Structure formats: structure tokens, C-alpha cells
Amino acid sequence: MSVHVPAPAPAPRTVLVGDPLGALVGAAETAPEGCVGFGPQTFTVIAGPCAVETREQVMTTARAVAAAGAAMLRGGAFKPRTSPYSFQGLGAEGLELLAEASRASGLPFVTEVLDPRDVGLVAAHAAMLQVGSRNMQNFALLREVGRSGRPVLLKRGAAATLDELLAAAEYVLAEGNDRVVLCERGVRSFDTETRYLLDLAAVPALRQRTALPILVDPSHATGRRELVAPMALAALAAGADGIIVEVHPEPSRALSDGRQALLPSDFDDLVRRLAALAPHFERVLARRDSGREAALR
Amino acid sequence: MSVHVPAPAPAPRTVLVGDPLGALVGAAETAPEGCVGFGPQTFTVIAGPCAVETREQVMTTARAVAAAGAAMLRGGAFKPRTSPYSFQGLGAEGLELLAEASRASGLPFVTEVLDPRDVGLVAAHAAMLQVGSRNMQNFALLREVGRSGRPVLLKRGAAATLDELLAAAEYVLAEGNDRVVLCERGVRSFDTETRYLLDLAAVPALRQRTALPILVDPSHATGRRELVAPMALAALAAGADGIIVEVHPEPSRALSDGRQALLPSDFDDLVRRLAALAPHFERVLARRDSGREAALR
Amino acid sequence: MSVHVPAPAPAPRTVLVGDPLGALVGAAETAPEGCVGFGPQTFTVIAGPCAVETREQVMTTARAVAAAGAAMLRGGAFKPRTSPYSFQGLGAEGLELLAEASRASGLPFVTEVLDPRDVGLVAAHAAMLQVGSRNMQNFALLREVGRSGRPVLLKRGAAATLDELLAAAEYVLAEGNDRVVLCERGVRSFDTETRYLLDLAAVPALRQRTALPILVDPSHATGRRELVAPMALAALAAGADGIIVEVHPEPSRALSDGRQALLPSDFDDLVRRLAALAPHFERVLARRDSGREAALR
Amino acid sequence: MSVHVPAPAPAPRTVLVGDPLGALVGAAETAPEGCVGFGPQTFTVIAGPCAVETREQVMTTARAVAAAGAAMLRGGAFKPRTSPYSFQGLGAEGLELLAEASRASGLPFVTEVLDPRDVGLVAAHAAMLQVGSRNMQNFALLREVGRSGRPVLLKRGAAATLDELLAAAEYVLAEGNDRVVLCERGVRSFDTETRYLLDLAAVPALRQRTALPILVDPSHATGRRELVAPMALAALAAGADGIIVEVHPEPSRALSDGRQALLPSDFDDLVRRLAALAPHFERVLARRDSGREAALR
């Protein structure tokens, strides 16, 4: 009788995300200045508002998160909302504002796409396309983002097993697009204490099974501002390759999910702590132009 | 101090589904021969294979379920599969086969649509469009089926609350399409004894909150043939307006979900039991042409 | 390739519960007048208040449920309460009141025991011992009720698999006590719409695996009065051998769980509907003295 | 409109656990040499086998974990097992072996008690009493451990909300015993990838609501050896006051839960990493005699 030895985990892969102007990079030698990497030697922080609301809001937030040390900007232009009568996002106008904030801050941006017919439009603006948790098994959308050639941030469904998450990623990979970054963002559970239940053990469990980078979203998972920083630090300790967090200059005025947004000052403090902690896990905080470096390693 | 009295439930609405040739009906006086109703005085049985596989399979099944007393035919042409490498359905060819089986059996059919770009194609063939549980919050798809004018069978997501199901239905209703039928099909839970956990209490709970008809899918919920009939009978007793079940002439050869398909003989027996039980709940089993009658009541 | 045929289900066993004076019955020929049976040909209704509060309350309720057709009385003397500062039940005094109500109504009673040290006391009064869902894996208690010789009503834990429920029953059986009746009472889930999620498919699933009788508790499962009757009827349709429901003459004054208690008039109506429906499932409503008859079949 | 500011969290309390010979300490000035503290400035590691199996096994393990830097020993003498036919622990003999291993290693030990009638016996040997997750709402047991005066390690039930965990702790506190340490050990969820779903966000969420120390059990939560170290590190990062982990010299020969036990060498490595990381969270690794120091701060 022998000790159970799990199969060796796959060698982690680095995924590069192009510069804010949209240059696509597929190989190390072509990694342009300004691109960002997700991989085993970095910890990549994506930050920004839940939804793009106004030019001022997104510009202010982008500059603040860039100054604090975020490597990428996030923000929703097309918002998946439970009710058709809630704010649905600014759509194409929101993409323009994100692009402007991206140029101003120097941060590439990721934004969600909801409809396969919008993939071209979104891919023309964004450095990375997000498939949200509600759409993790929207196979038409997965195929379309696969064909777009853009890197894809694929969030785990709120009741998806890891098997299903990996199978969903295959829909993108099967189109020849291997730049997929997985994201754990909490699953449905019975306790209303937090919005979802953040499954941090999914990070090392996925690591045993896939070479794809793995992010954590502590904002949507917990739904509570005061839990975001502890869970972001825990994500790093659990082996994640980065986080995606919500930051809003005035959370109380946010049109969606203000309750879970960090203030810029809290975010600044969090990034400092992550940067100090990262070397313990043989990582450095990704900088906005760290892609080239990552690719050359 | 007084006994809690819940607000009176909304008066249940009848949804009519047009004849197999596609005539749409919106009002009682125009209900054509051959249409089917979902509502408070009937119990409507939809049956057919999980996926359309061959002409022979779908024709045989359609005739068998019609003979047994089903009011509508079901069958998947576009299949949402966890893995991109599983059988994905016959697509447009599957729709043609369903339409042929519908004409031969006299049963209108419902089939799933996965992509907003396919809604027109599917609506040109099917009497009713199904939005599956994986797509319950695919808002682009919900809007598109809303615009199609076709009646919509909206399945509850595997981790969706009733609030979310009702909000998803609003996406269809907001497009001016009020012919929505809700369907409970089991939610994710911790016990692997059944595939999902059938939430039958959702039926009377939804009844307190919506006028829309409510179906139950005992096949996907349990994933086990031997549990389908007990749960179908329980659905009637719990107040459901009908069921949707999978029937396959040779379950062991099914390309998907054979484990949960009833044999035609089992289905025949089930329909007999439902017909005998229905009057206890002041219902009659819907016949394939019961829509006109339902509409005139 | 052949159709999957599940192994034949075990032949259902009848469990007899002795008369209110405590005579224990283990074999058909000794079944006394007044005992009650749980088994495949009857549908046994247990009813009464959540907690014993006053002499008047329990006497009134016992007479009302006996008049309506209940076969057994239920009531809590030792109450498992989430908080130590909530009403904990009347204890030994509650047992006396239940015994008195049992004699007055002619109904044997079942009551919960929480502490292995109380098993002797409770067994001296009650015809049947309940192990509640919080204690399903309280193995010391299971062993003690096993040794008591009294029939045991074993409720499924709120997060217990069927495997675990059956293994818990084995703790009682292993003590030589084979009079165990299982009870599904809802499991934890993510939707706050109902208190727990009633897993009715557990009834036919358990039937495939055990000869023990299977009850359903629609009161605790749903936590809402208006859902109790539909789920009680659905339990019968799903193949359950009976139900246990809460009835309170003045639910708004109940010290615990008033929100889920039926009024006596609602209960009366429910029993009528169950009696009318039972023959469709080849059952008759158990009467308070139906044990002898059941045992002789 | 103002930013939501959660109420200030209670000031964390330090719980002291007496020396292996059983001296009880309730106040700082009486903290004996050899006692261990759980509190805001330390990170306390409890380690040992799941079950006590043989003298050699427990002695070897105790010495190994002491050498590696554990502050306390764990080990099961009374084992709660799903089936009555599984190994149930060595009982009183196991307690003797634990006491011997405790003296040899200098580590106080914690062990589970299952039956209120065993509390006296267990308290005569162990420095700390564990109430396991299956018994979190075994109120008779909670009251008895409350009366024992011994510090109590209270594990969260597999489907317990934080409200329920805190209410269960009140049963101990209400007996005048305020030395309660809470422990998150994973909750039931739908994915079989891990044994339970470790709810690390419960750590900061509990911190907002209670002064009691909070531990994490990554062994039972994940059920997989290779996930234990990442989740132990994440527990520290999330703000936990310590961990309890399983270590076995020959996991493949373990009579229970060998699949999740660390090898002594892995444990050694884990403790080193925790010690290096702790100062980032303003903590030091608790030493076996750190209680006095903790109490005096």
C-alpha cells in the first residue's frame, strides 16, 4: 500500500494581454511595451468600477488604481442584471469611456461581453474579454470569444463544478484561442452572511488540473467591502495568479454593487500589502508593462 | 396579533401554444384547432427524446407519445453540452425532423434555442421556444425570444432563486411577449443520489407570486428513469400545470441522457395514472387540441 | 448494450407503534388494539403542535387532530433551539401533558429526545421516539434509542446525504431495534423562498434502497403554512408512507414555528384530500387502531 | 448618502489552554508554564493524527509535530463515524495514549467528545475538548462541555450558518465557560472536487461579530493532502488565529481519513512557511508555552 500521489500538475502557462490600443500578442518575441502577463511568477491586480457610469467616474477610478499599482483596468459597459428594469450599462458609449480611461492611465482593460453579436464591437476596444459567471455555459458566446483571438477572462458559474469550468474553457480553446484566464468568484451556498461562498480551495485544485492562469474575484464573492482585502490576501496565499476587484470613488453612489466596492485609499493599502507578501510566494506584483518581461522569462 | 395571511395569489393565466404549422394565437377567439393550452384547468404533458438523433428515432417517439396521450412533443436540435467534444445536436436538420414528426403526430413541438442568432430559424419551425437552465440569465437570448412572439418555455437555472427566475421571465415579458411558461427542473445540491434536487415546493411558492403557468421536468431533475414517474405524479399533486419528460425507444442507445429517459411503455402507464389522478386536482389531461377549449373557458 | 435496470427495491416493511399506554409490539400476533402501523398499504398522518406550551393547547390540538383523522399525535417537550435563550420546551412536564392528551384523544404520540440520558424518561411516556435532524449523527443518542426498544422516527439531517441517513439508521438497527421510520424534512439550499428545500425525490430513491417506512415533514421543510398541503399531497404521490405536520389552534401565538403550523380547519381539509387520494396509490389512510390490521396483512 | 461603515468588530479575546497535566487557567496572572494561547497576536498550530490507532503511531506523530513547531496535539479517541461498522476509536484507551504522548512531547492535547456522559472522563485527560461538526447543535453536549470548565474547540456544522455557529457557542458561554475557540472546517456544497467547501470568508466575517478566536481546519475541509498547505497559508492570510491539521506518519495505513493527512515532512515545511509569513499579519507562531506570554500582553 502506498501513499496516494496525485499526478504532477501541468506546467503553468503565461497568458499575455495586449496594450490598451489593442495590439494582440501571441508569442513572447512580439510582446509589446505595455502588455500585461498572467502567470506563475507574477500576481496581477485588475481593478476598476463594477459599471461604467460617467466619464468622470471611470477616469478618476482608472487613474487612482493605476497610481496604486493595478496592472489592468476593469469596468462594465454591458451589464448582466437580474432584472430588465435595472441599469443595464452604457453599452457602446461605455466602451469608448473605458478606452479613453485606458489610454489616460496606461492600463489595458477587460470588460464583459454578453451577446455573441457584440463580440466584434467589444474586441475592437478591449484588451481582454470577460465571460461572466451567468454566461459560463453560454456556448455560443464562448465560441465567439474563442474566434475573436482576444484573451478571455472566464468566470466560474455560481453553481459550476470545476469540471464544468474546465469544459467551458475548452469551448474557447477549441477555437484556437489558448489565451484563457480562469476566475473563481464564489458559488451559491446556504448562508446569507456573504453574497456567494468564495471557494479558494478551487485555486490549488484547478492548479492540479490545468496550465491556465487562475484569478480570484473577492468583490463579487463576498459582496462586502470589509471582507475584500482579507480574501485578496488569502487568494495570493492559496496560489492565485491575481485578483480582480471593484473600486469606486464614491461607493454609496454606485449604480450597481456599491456595497462591495473598495475606496481608492483601501485599494492603495491592499496593493501595498500584496506587493509585500508576493515574494513569499515567489511572485512579484505585475506591473502594467510586465508582459514583455514575463514573456521573455 | 393575527394569523399571517399571505397576499392572494394572482389569478392563473392560460398560455396557448399554436398548431404544428405555426399559427400563433394570442386570444381565445382565434385559438385554432390543434393548439394546446397551459393553465389552471389542464395538466399538459410534453414528451419526446432528449436529443433528435435520427429520423426514425424522432418519428417513432413522436407517434408513441402521441398515442399515449402527450399534448406536445419535445426534442433537442441544438444541444447545450458541457463539453465541446460531445454530440452537439443535429441543428437545422434536427428542426426539420422535428417539424416532420410534429406533422405526422399532430403534436406541436418545443425545442431549445441557444443562440440569439438562431431564434428566427427555430421560431420558423417550432410552436414554442425553450430557454434552457444554463441560459436562464442569458439576457440577450431572453430578449430575442421575447421579440419572436413565440410562446417560451423558461427553465429555472440550476442555482437560480425564484426571484431570479421571475426576473428572467420579465426579460421576455418586457418585449411584449406574455406567453411564458416557467419550468422547475431541479437545483444543484450536495447529494449525488439524484442529478439535481427537484424543488417541488417551488410550484406552490411560484403560484403565490405569478400568473404564469408552471411546469416540472422530472427527467433532468432526477436523472434516473425509476424516479421520473413518482415525481411526475408528485408534480401534479403539488399543483403543477404540466410536465416535460424524456422518452426514448431505446434509452441505452441514446446519445445523451439515456439514463433518465422513459421507455414508451412506461410513459404510457404514467399518462394513464396522471389522467386518473388529474380530476382530484380539478384538472383534465390536456389533449393536443385542447387549446381552443381552454381559451374559451 | 442493455437498458439499465436498477436492482429490485427491498420489500417494504411495516413498523408498528404501540398504544398510548406504552405496550410494545414486535410481531403481528401481539399487535394490541390502538396501535398504529407505518407501511406500504397505509398512509399515516402524525399531527400536533411544534412545542407543548400549555395543557389547554395540547389537549385542544390533540382532540382536533384526532377528530380530523390523524393516526398519531406529535408534540415537542424537549425542544432543540438554535439559541439557548429561546423557549426550550416544558421538559418532563411536557411529557405528562402529551401523555394526558394521548389518553384523551386515543392517539399514540411521538416526541423528540435530545439527550441520551433522557431516553429512559421519554420512552416511559411516548409510543415512539423522534431523533431530530440536528441529531441525525448524534451517535450516542442513536445507540440509546436503539437500546430503548421503542420505535424510532429518524429525521434526515439538513445536509445529510441518503447514504448518511441510512448509515445513521444502522446505529439504531445495530442495537437490535428494527422499528425505524425514516423522515425527509428538507435540506439546506441557497434559496430563502422556503425554509429548507424539500427533497421529495428522496422518497422513491430511498424506496430503492431500504425496507424501512419513509415519512415526509412538509411543515419544517417549507416553513410556510400555505405550502404544507400541496407538499403533503405531493408526498403521498411520491410514494411516502405518511406525513408529520404541525397544527396549532392559534398559530400566531405559538412559541415556536407558528408560521408553518396549519389551523385545525386546514388540517381537517388536508386529511380529507389525502383520504380521497390514497386509494390511487393503493393505500388507505391509517386509523389510530390500524396497526393490528396492518400487521395481520 | 454615506458610505456603509460596518459596526466596529469586537476586540479579540485570548483563550488560554492549560498545560498537559491539566491545570486550568482562567486569568492571565495564573497562566502556568506550558500553556498555549489562541488570540490576535499568535498563530496557533494544532496537529496530530485523525484517530489514535496505536501507541507507536501517536507517540511518533506527537514527537514529530512538536519538533516541527506545533503548539498543541490533536487526536481522536472517540470517533464519530458515519457507519456503526467503521472503526469507532480506542475510547478510554485512546485518551491514555494521548495523555502519554502529550507528556512526552510537551504539547497539550485536544480531543473530541461525543457523548455528554463522557465529558468528565475526557476532561480528566485533555487540555481542551472538541465538539465536532456533527454535534455543533447537540445542545446537551454543548451544555456539558460548558460546565466542564475546560476550553472548548467548537467546529462549525457542515451546513451551519454563522448565526447558528455563534448561537451554538452561546450554549457553552451560558454555562459560564467563556473559553470557546471557533473552527471553520468546510461546508457542504455541490462539487465533489473537495470533500467540503472551505469557507475562508467566514474568518473575517466572524471577526466582525465575535471576540472569540477563530481556527481553520484545512484537512477535513478539503479532504486532499495536496490542498492542505495552500489553504493553511490562506487561513493565516484571511486572519485566522490558527489551524488544526492532520498528520500521520504513514497516511496510507491510517484507519480513517488517510487521504487528507500530511506527512511529517510536509508538515515541517508548512510550519516553516507559516512562521515566515506570520509577521506580515502581526502575529508570531504560538509556541507550546506561549500562553503565559499571550496572557500577559
ipTM given for this complex: 0.92
pLDDT band of residue B26 (cuts 50, 70, 90) is very low
Contact (Cβ atoms closer than 8 angstroms) between residue A219 and residue A20:
no
State residue D117's pLDDT score.
97
State residue D24's pLDDT score.
39
pLDDT band of residue C100 (cuts 50, 70, 90) is very high
Contact (Cβ atoms closer than 8 angstroms) between residue B217 and residue B185:
yes
Search chain D and give the residue with CA nearest C141: D115
State residue A292's pLDDT score.
53
State residue D1's pLDDT score.
37
What domains are defined for chain C?
44-283 (3.20.20.70)
Tell me the percentage of chain D whose pLDDT exceeds 90: 80
Q: Is the pLDDT of residue B296 over 60?
A: no
State residue B60's pLDDT score.
96
B134 with A138: Cβ contact below 8 A: yes
Q: Is the pLDDT of residue D239 over 60?
A: yes
Q: What is the rounded average pLDDT of the residues C218-238?
A: 97
State residue B24's pLDDT score.
39
Distance CA C164, CA C159 (A): 10
Q: What is the rounded average pLDDT of the residues D75-100?
A: 94
* CB nearest to D190's CB, from A159, A198, A277: A159
C117 with D114: Cβ contact below 8 A: no
Distance CA D137, CA D160 (A): 9
Q: What is the rounded average pLDDT of the residues B228-252?
A: 96
Q: Is the pLDDT of residue A25 over 50?
A: no
Q: Is the pLDDT of residue B189 over 60?
A: yes
State residue B287's pLDDT score.
86
C231 with B259: Cβ contact below 8 A: no
State residue A29's pLDDT score.
43
Mean pLDDT of chain A: 90
Collect all residues from C whose CB is shorter than 8 A from any CB in D: 80-85, 114-117, 134-135, 137-141, 143, 157-159, 163-164, 167-168, 170-171, 174, 187-188
* CB nearest to C159's CB, from D158, D170, D171: D158
The lowest-confidence range among A10-14, D3-7, D61-65, D102-106 is: D3-7
Q: Is the pLDDT of residue A185 over 80?
A: yes
Q: Is the pLDDT of residue B193 over 90?
A: yes
State residue C32's pLDDT score.
55
Q: What is the rounded average pLDDT of the residues C267-288?
A: 96
State residue D159's pLDDT score.
95
The lowest-confidence range among A40-49, C25-34, C146-155, D283-292 is: C25-34
Closest CA to D287 of D40, D34, D101, D18: D34
Closest CA to A35 of A45, A25, A43, A46: A25
Q: Which residues in C135-156 are b (16+ Cβ under 10 Å) and which e?
A: bbbbbbbbbbbbbbebbbbbbb
State residue B3's pLDDT score.
45
Long-range contacts of D1-9 (CB under 8 A, 24+ apart): D1/A252, D1/A253, D2/A252, D3/A250, D3/A251, D3/A252, D3/A263, D4/A225, D4/A251, D4/A252, D4/A259, D6/A224, D6/A226, D6/D208, D7/D208, D9/D207, D9/D208, D9/D209
Distance CA C224, CA B296 (A): 35
User: For C13, which DSSP code?
Assistant: -
* Higher pLDDT pick, B256 / C15: C15
- The helix-helix angle for D225-238 and A225-238 (nearest 10°) equals 140
- CA pseudo-torsion sign D227, D228, D229, D235: positive
D189 vs B contacts (CB less than 8 Å): 190
State residue D108's pLDDT score.
93
> How many B/D residue pairs have CB atoms within 8 Å?
6
Tell me the CA distances in angstroms from C4 to B250, B253, C1, one per residue in order.
11, 11, 9
Alpha helices in chain D, H assignment, sequence order: 55-68, 92-105, 119-125, 139-148, 162-173, 202-207, 218-222, 225-238, 264-277, 290-296
Distance CA B62, CA C29 (A): 54
Q: Is the pLDDT of residue B221 over 50?
A: yes
pLDDT band of residue B139 (cuts 50, 70, 90) is very high
Closest CA to B187 of B171, B179, B198: B198
* CB nearest to C80's CB, from D83, D137, D158: D137
State residue C295's pLDDT score.
52
Q: Is the pLDDT of residue C3 over 60?
A: no
D182 vs A contacts (CB less than 8 Å): none
Mean pLDDT of chain D: 90
Length of chain B: 297
State residue C220's pLDDT score.
96
State residue D25's pLDDT score.
39
Strands A242-246 and A214-216, bridge-based pairing:
parallel
* Higher pLDDT pick, D271 / B22: D271
Q: What is the rounded average pLDDT of the residues D278-287?
A: 95
User: For B113, which DSSP code?
Assistant: -
Mean pLDDT of chain C: 90
State residue A225's pLDDT score.
95
Collect all residues from B whose CB is shorter than 8 A from any CB in A: 80-85, 114-117, 134-135, 137-141, 143, 157-159, 163-164, 167-168, 170-171, 174, 187-188
State residue C156's pLDDT score.
98
Q: Is the pLDDT of residue B29 over 60?
A: no
Q: Which residues in D106-117 are b (16+ Cβ under 10 Å) and which e?
A: ebbbbbbbbbbb
Q: What is the rounded average pLDDT of the residues C196-221?
A: 97
Contact (Cβ atoms closer than 8 angstroms) between residue B200 and residue B231:
yes
B227 with C236: Cβ contact below 8 A: no
Search chain C and give the residue with CA nearest D167: C83
Tell me the CA distances in angstroms from D117 to B251, D114, D121, D126, D143, one per residue in order.
55, 9, 8, 15, 12
Angle (nearest 5°) at CA D233 between D229 and D238: 140
Collect all residues from D whose CB is shorter than 8 A from any CB in C: 80-85, 114-117, 134-135, 137-141, 143, 157-159, 163-164, 167-168, 170-171, 174, 187-188
A188 vs C contacts (CB less than 8 Å): 190
Length of chain D: 297
* CB nearest to C230's CB, from B159, B194, B238: B238
Contact (Cβ atoms closer than 8 angstroms) between residue D167 and residue C88:
no
Contact (Cβ atoms closer than 8 angstroms) between residue D243 and residue D215:
yes
Q: Is the pLDDT of residue A42 over 80?
A: yes
State residue A251's pLDDT score.
85
Contact (Cβ atoms closer than 8 angstroms) between residue C73 and residue C104:
no
A238 with D231: Cβ contact below 8 A: yes
Tell me the percentage of chain B whose pLDDT exceeds 70: 90
State residue C30's pLDDT score.
47
B115 with A81: Cβ contact below 8 A: no
How near does any CA of chain D get to the CA of C174, in Å?
Answer: 8
D136-187 tens-digit pLDDT? 999 999 999 999 989 999 999 999 999 999 999 999 999 999 999 999 999 9
State residue B229's pLDDT score.
98
C134 with D134: Cβ contact below 8 A: no
A258-297 tens-digit pLDDT? 899 999 999 999 999 999 999 999 999 998 766 655 555 5
Mean pLDDT of chain B: 90
Q: Is the pLDDT of residue B261 over 90?
A: yes
